[in-house]
Amino acid sequence: MPAKDIFHEPFVLALIKDGWIVTADPLTIRILDADLLIDIGAERMVGAERDGQRIAVEIKRFIGKSVVQELKEAAGQFMLYEEALKRVPAHVDRVLLLAVRLPVYVSLFENGIGKILMESHKLRLVVFDSVKEEITQWIPANVTRKS
């Protein structure tokens, strides 16, 4: 997998159009693992802020491999990063979101197996149109304050 995939730039542009200031690209979270500092997040996470609200967004591709497999990875990553963010004073106020493209959202989260994770409110999503470079939906809808 490339360090930054083809959906990274369209998503960042969509965020900027939506009024966000991108403050970290990539955003790295450092946590202590058995007395060793390790970096999680790596090249796929973006940090942004708007009106004093700060977010950390993990951009997921969902292409290739099995969709169920990718969903597991994305959900587990979300769980792990969410706990990691809580433990780092510099990031504790960041709201974590998973960025997914519109067709992925429709097929996987609105109608597919990912629906059970949305119904149980386990994930927060930012849905974007990678062609128009626009944010189409925040889930839950009130996850960010309006600018």
Pick the closer one to a copy of itself by CB: 33 or 93: 33
User: What is the dihedral sign for C-alpha 19, 24, 26, 32?
Assistant: negative
- Residues in CB range of 43: below 8 A, 6 or more apart: 3, 4, 26
Total residues contacting a copy of itself (rule CB under 8 A)? 30
User: Residue 133, by phi and psi: left (phi above 0), alpha (psi -120 to 50) or beta?
Assistant: left
Cβ atoms of residues 7 and 59 within 8 Å: yes
Dihedral of the alpha carbons of 87, 91, 95, 101, in degrees to the nearest 10 = -110
What the block records as the tokens of 100 is 């997914």
Q: Confirm or reject binding of residue 111 to a copy of itself (CB under 8 A).
A: yes
Q: Confirm or reject binding of residue 140 to a copy of itself (CB under 8 A).
A: no
Q: At its nearest, how many Å lie between a copy of itself and the CB of residue 39?
A: 10
Distance of alpha carbon 17 from alpha carbon 21, whole angstroms: 9
Q: Confirm or reject binding of residue 122 to a copy of itself (CB under 8 A).
A: yes
Which among 5-13, 18-26, 92-100, 115-123 is the span making contact with a copy of itself, rule CB under 8 A?
115-123
Q: Which of residues 21-80 bind a copy of itself (CB under 8 A)?
A: 31, 33-34, 38, 40, 68-69, 71-80
Q: Confirm or reject binding of residue 119 to a copy of itself (CB under 8 A).
A: yes
Provide the binding-site residues for a copy of itself, judged by CB under 8 A.
31, 33-34, 38, 40, 68-69, 71-80, 83-84, 86-87, 107, 111-113, 116-117, 119-120, 122
